[in-house]
Structure 1
Amino acid sequence: MIVWLNGTRGAGKTTTSEFVQQLLPDARVLDAEKVGEVLMDIKPGLPATDNFQHWEPWRPLVVETARRVLEYTGGTLVMPMTVLVESYWREISGGLTEHGIPIHHFVLHADQATLRDRIQNDKDLGPSTFRFAYLEPYAEAAHTWLHKEAEVIDTTHITADQAAQQIADSVLDR
């Protein structure tokens, strides 16, 4: 099974995924961003883009990587990855479903003011124009399709470990 943690950059997906992994039996974290990093390392580079998700190979490689890891290890993959383009989500989730892999899709949500504050005051990354740039696309995706496709966990007033507990409880109750 896959527990997919979606949400905008700065929402706490990576931190929360580590807590979720500890709460679910036989779980591992697979960050699909690493697949994008592999593509970014191709020399000479692939066509210029502002987001590796736009490269056609990224989406099927995410599916294939997850499938192969699950085939090898079994258990659960916790995958923290922002996907805000609906057709990209459909391609990934459809590919996983075709392989018979159940997906529990969650969105870590916080209001815009909280997200801006978290990005501005991030002690590890500092303020990030890259992360700020995704606030509006996230708001649009949340309004049009994303919140209908996932279980929304409002993290505005809770910690990452509390969000992880809600996610683990939901997964284990299904």
Structure 2
Amino acid sequence: MGIVIIWLNGTHGAGKTTTSRLLQPLVPRSRIFDAEKVGEVLMDIEPALPETGNFQHWPPWRPLVAETARRVLDYVGGTLIIPMTVLTEQYWQEITADLQRHEITVHHFVLHADETTLRRRIDDDADMGPSTFRHDHVRPYVAAAHSWLHEQATVIDTTAKPAAAVAREIAERLPQPGSAEA
């Protein structure tokens, strides 16, 4: 498959983290890269960077995610699975343009669920509990889905599908080694 990133997009509650953990054993030589950690590094800068309400709005975040992914792939090869919500088209374009400059193939999947299901999952999350921040991202997700996101990705409806089935579906949709797409 070459140098590859499998990007799992979608809003909170869609199943990105769970799916990434189930997908990783299905994709040979793959690792999970939590791009949110790059945001956490930026949040730890003292004195703090200007307040934005979301670390993705800081201009350094996008190139740092791309550069970190590239450097990890240069070091260990294989495939990176990145479970990360990106709802701003400009940010997505910046990240993917940086990756394409380094000939990194990005397989972009959006894990989709209807709004009622998303809100129920957020409220029922045993690890994080109900979250205003996560609820606040449902409407922007719906707007992005209708304006650009679903056009630029393979959409997998997770509304009634268990995460293990979603992971298998993604693995099956990836180009196989030796194929023209790989």
TM-score, normalised on structure 1? 0.98
Task: Give the superposition deviation at 1:91.
Answer: 0.2
In structure 1, what is the Cα distance between the partners aligned to 2:162 and 2:47? 42
Tell me the equivalent position of 1:144. 147
Task: Give the superposition deviation at 1:49.
Answer: 1.2
AA at the equivalent of 1:21: Q
Per-residue displacement from partner, 1:94-118 (whole Å, max 9, x unpaired)? 1100110000000000000110110
In structure 2, what is the Cα distance between the partners aligned to 1:29 and 1:121? 24
Per-residue displacement from partner, 1:118-138 (whole Å, max 9, x unpaired)? 011111111110100000000
In structure 1, what is the Cα distance between the partners aligned to 2:15 and 2:146? 20
AA at the equivalent of 1:44: P
In structure 2, what is the Cα distance between the partners aligned to 1:137 and 1:65? 27
Report the 3-state secondary structure (helix = DSSP H, G, I; strand = E; otherwise coil) of the residue aligned with 1:77: strand
Tell me the equivalent position of 1:73. 76
Report the 3-state secondary structure (helix = DSSP H, G, I; strand = E; otherwise coil) of the residue aligned with 2:174: helix
**Pairing partner for 1:154 from 157, 163, 179:** 157
Tell me the equivalent position of 1:165. 168
Question: RMSD value over aligned CA atoms?
Answer: 0.7
In structure 1, what is the Cα distance between the partners aligned to 2:66 and 2:173? 23
Alignment pair present for 1:53 and 2:68: no
Alignment pair present for 1:15 and 2:18: yes
In structure 1, what is the Cα distance between the partners aligned to 2:128 and 2:163? 17
Mapping for residues 106-121 of structure 1, pairs under 5 Å: 106-121=109-124
Task: Give the superposition deviation at 1:33.
Answer: 0.3
Report the 3-state secondary structure (helix = DSSP H, G, I; strand = E; otherwise coil) of the residue aligned with 1:116: helix
- Unmatched segments (≥5 aa) in structure 1: none
In structure 1, what is the Cα distance between the partners aligned to 2:161 and 2:175? 20
Task: Give the superposition deviation at 1:172.
Answer: 3.8
Per-residue displacement from partner, 1:59-117 (whole Å, max 9, x unpaired)? 00001000000000000000000000000000001110011000000000000011011
AA at the equivalent of 2:132: T
In structure 2, what is the Cα distance between the partners aligned to 1:88 and 1:15? 24
Task: Give the superposition deviation at 1:9.
Answer: 1.1
Task: Give the superposition deviation at 1:10.
Answer: 1.5
AA at the equivalent of 2:151: K
Report the 3-state secondary structure (helix = DSSP H, G, I; strand = E; otherwise coil) of the residue aligned with 1:45: coil
| Residue range with higher mean Cα deviation, 4-13 or 164-173 | 164-173
AA at the equivalent of 1:142: A
Tell me the equivalent position of 2:9. 6
Structure 1 stretches of 4+ moved >4 Å? none
- Unmatched segments (≥5 aa) in structure 2: none
Alignment pair present for 1:101 and 2:104: yes
